[in-house]
Amino acid sequence: MVLLAVSNYCQSFRCYFCSNILLTLSNIQDLWVCYVISVKPNNLKVTDCIGFCEPPFTMETHPQSFRRTKIVINADDGFYSDIRDQGIVSCLSGINSGVSDVSVLMNGAVARHLLSVLDYQRKQLSALFSYLMKNNLIPGLHFNLTEGKPLKYKRSVQSLLDHRDCFLGKYGFREHLLSSAVDMNEVELELESQLQAFKQLFGTVPSHLDGHQHIHVLPGIDAVVARVLSRNGVKWIRVPVERIPEVSPHLTETEAEFYKNVSDQATKAREIFSSYGLK
């Protein structure tokens, strides 16, 4: 899956050129950018319309605004599987792809394999890891509490797991959280484990953090994430605040409700993140 993000002020609109969903910057009015994402079995790339509508001012007239704005298009779910990683590498290396960053799942199948082998073997086993090392790129951490199995020993994070010792799922975790059945100490333990696994692979902290299925902005989870990131020296975090009514015609009712909740939660989480110095 590819996530589109424009700093922490991303807003969603329709494309002036092709009517597809696009993003615009709130602090540079009328600068329109369109990326159409195509996901195929063995490829993941930006296709079709990539358009810019001429803004009402230029670099010469408003240099400060242009200098301070950076568009980041982030591919998440790195290390989920080999085939997904190949698609992400194709995006990162493509001249016209637009994808500029990636975040990785440290409990994904590829990550677990990489952690189980010696350092010199890793580049041969993962196309994405090899690409990142070759280009001296440090990815973000795609913090996961909803899919697969934890990195922490199961008995120490029991409130996060089902009867199969797997995470509870996108909606199951949220229901568990609403019923106050999630132990925040266990959330912290698992996040620390995923951070330590990241450091083991890359020798440093992530460039940023985002959440698998946006779990990092959930009430209570946000404070744990902010505290742990601050303690570990991670400075950047995704804040998925969106104008959902602008894109809702493209979503089912369930999807629209989910993303509206995410956006509302992200708005509240932003204050917590800022209080810990996260950007």
Burial (CB count within 10 angstroms: exposed 0-12, middle 13-18, buried 19+), residue 253:
exposed
Which tokens hold the place of 9? 């002020």
Gap between the terminal Cα atoms of the chain: 23
Question: d(Cα 268, Cα 216) in Å, to the nearest integer?
Answer: 12
**Residues 188, 154: Cα–Cα separation, whole Å:** 14
Structure tokens at 175: 């229901």
pTM for this predicted structure: 0.76
At 5 the three-state DSSP class reads strand
Q: What is the pLDDT along the chain (279 residues), one digit of tens a residue?
A: 333 333 333 334 333 334 444 443 333 333 333 333 333 444 434 333 333 333 433 445 544 444 444 678 899 999 999 999 999 999 999 876 778 899 999 999 999 999 999 998 999 999 999 999 999 999 999 999 999 999 999 999 999 999 999 999 999 999 999 999 999 999 999 999 999 999 999 999 999 999 999 999 999 999 999 999 999 999 999 999 987 776 677 788 888 889 999 999 999 999 999 999 999
Cα dihedral 90, 93, 96, 97, rounded to 10, equals: 50
Contact 38, 99 (CB under 8 A): no
pLDDT of amino acid 247: 67
Q: Can you tell me the distance from the alpha carbon of 227 to that of 122, in angstroms, rounded to the nearest whole number? A: 31
User: What is the pLDDT, as a whole number, of residue 42?
Assistant: 43
Q: Domains in the chain, ordered, with CATH?
A: 77-275 (3.20.20.370)
Whether 76 is a known active-site residue: answer yes
The predicted pLDDT at position 60 comes to: 52
CA nearest to 150, candidates 114, 197, 103, 184: 197
- The active-site residue, picked from 30, 76, 77, 222, is 76
